[in-house]
Structures are given as structure tokens and as C-alpha cells.
């Protein structure tokens, strides 16, 4: 399962979510509007920046929407029918 930390109204998060829809990916979305989720993100990645992707299956975590979009296309494009 892919976890994506997001924030309402974030255009960079929207970009990653759009790529996810394009590829048929279901994310476990974690919204940092919840203070406990924001604290979880900082503990995990070191900063309160979104989007932040966690791909536990591939032991990969990353910030930056362009990097995340590229990663998803490289590793999950085969899901597109």
C-alpha cells in the first residue's frame, strides 16, 4: 500500500493524486490537517512538507511532487489498462 501525506488545497498534492488516478493507484491518504498526522510526518520525513510518499513495499520515501510523479510512472505504470 502506498501512503501519501497531503494537505487540503495543496496544488502539488493534487498533481500527485491526479497521477495516481491516471495509473489506477489507491493511496492511503494521510491529511496533515490532523495535528497527530502532521507530527507523524515530521517524525518520519524530518519536515512538514507535502506531498510525501511512502512506498513500504519498495522501502522508498520521498518529497517533491515531480519526483513522486516520476517514481509512480516508473514503478506503477504497468497497472494502466
> For residues 23 and 33, what is the distance between their CA atoms, to the nearest angstrom?
26
Reference 16, options 49, 39, 58, 57; nearest CA is 49
32-79 pLDDT tens trace: 999 999 999 999 999 999 999 999 999 999 999 999 999 999 999 875
The four Cα atoms 55, 59, 65, 66 give a dihedral, to 10 degrees, of -120
Tell me the CATH number at 57. 3.40.30.10
What integer pLDDT is reported at residue 79 of this predicted model? 52
Q: Which pLDDT band, with edges at 50, 70 and 90, does 1 fall under?
A: confident
Domain around 44 = 2-79
pTM: 0.93
Pick from 58, 46, 48: nearest CA to 3: 58
- Determine the 3-state secondary structure of 21 from DSSP: helix
Domain count, the chain: 1
Amino acid at each position: 500500500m502506498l501512503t501519501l501525506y497531503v494537505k487540503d488545497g495543496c496544488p502539488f498534492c493534487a498533481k500527485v493524486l491526479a497521477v495516481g488516478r491516471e495509473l489506477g493507484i489507491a493511496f492511503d491518504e494521510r491529511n496533515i490537517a490532523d495535528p497527530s498526522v502532521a507530527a507523524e510526518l515530521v517524525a518520519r520525513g524530518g519536515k512538514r512538507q507535502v506531498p510525501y510518499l511512502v512506498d513500504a513495499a519498495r522501502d522508498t520515501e520521498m518529497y517533491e511532487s515531480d519526483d513522486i510523479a516520476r517514481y509512480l510512472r516508473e514503478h506503477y505504470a504497468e497497472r494502466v489498462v
